[in-house]
Structure 1
Amino acid sequence: MEEKVDRRVRRSRAQLGQALRDLILQKPYETITIQNITDEADLNRATFYLHYTSKEELLMASLEEQFGALLEQMEVEKNGRPLWENPATIRIIFEYAAQNEALFKVLLGPQGQGYVMYRILNYIAQVDEEELDAAFGQNALPVPNVILARYFAGALFALVSWWLEQDMPHSPTYMAETVQQLCAVGVVPVLAGMEESWPVTQG
Structure 2
Amino acid sequence: MARRTDPRVLRTRALLRAAALELAAERELHSITIANVAERATVNRATVYQHYQDLDELMLDAMEDELAGLIGLAARCPLVVLPAEMPQGFLDMFRHVETEATLYRRMLGPCGSPRFVNRLRQLVAEQVALQLVEAGAGRADEAGVELRAHCSAGAFIGLVTCWLLRPDWLPAEEAAAHAWQGLHLGGGKSAG
Same fold (TM over 0.5): yes
- For the residues of structure 2 that align with 1:115 and 1:5, how far apart are their CA atoms? 27
CA contact (8 A) 1:121 1:154 kept: yes
Q: Report the identity percentage.
A: 28
Counterpart contact for 1:17–1:62, Cα < 8 Å: yes
Alpha-carbon contact 2:20-2:37 (below 8 Å) kept: yes
Bigger relative contact order (CA 8 A; separation at least 6): 2
Taking the TM superposition and a 5 Å limit, the aligned residue runs for 1:182-197 are: 182-183=182-183, 185-187=184-186
Name stretches of at least 5 consecutive residues in structure 2 with no aligned partner. none
Q: Which amino acid aligns with 2:186?
A: V
Deviation at 1:39, TM superposition (A): 0.8
Q: Does the C-alpha gap of structure 1 residues 88 and 143 become closer, same or farther in structure 2, counting only changes over 3 Å?
A: farther
Normalized per residue, the structure richer in helix is: 1
Q: Residues 30 and 40 of structure 1: is their aligned pair in 2 closer, same or farther, counting only changes over 3 Å?
A: same
CA distance in 2, matches of 1:138, 1:188: 19
Secondary structure class of the residue paired with 2:131 = helix
Residue-by-residue CA offset, 1:75-103 (whole Å, 9 max, x unaligned): 5xx2xx63343732222221121111112
Q: Which shifted more, 103-112 or 172-181?
A: 172-181
Structure 1, gaps ≥5 residues long: 190-196, 198-203
Instruction: Give RMSD over aligned pairs.
Output: 3.4
TM-score normalised to structure 1 length: 0.70
Under a length normalisation based on structure 2, what TM-score does the superposition of the two structures give? 0.73
Structure 1 position 52 matched with structure 2 position 48:
no
- Equivalences, count: 181
Contact conserved, 1:87 with 1:173, CA < 8 A, in 2? no
> 1:158-185: CA deviations, max 9, x gaps?
221122222532x4334334434544x4
In the other structure, the counterpart of 2:169 is 168
Q: Please give the alpha-carbon distance, in whole angstroms, between the structure 2 residues aligned to 1:3 and 1:114.
A: 31
CA drift of 1:65 comes to 2.6
Cα distance in 2 for partners of 1:17, 1:101 equals 18
| Residue 64 of structure 2 corresponds to residue 68 of structure 1 | no
Q: Hey, what's the Cα distance between the residues in 1 that align with 2:104 and 2:5? A: 33
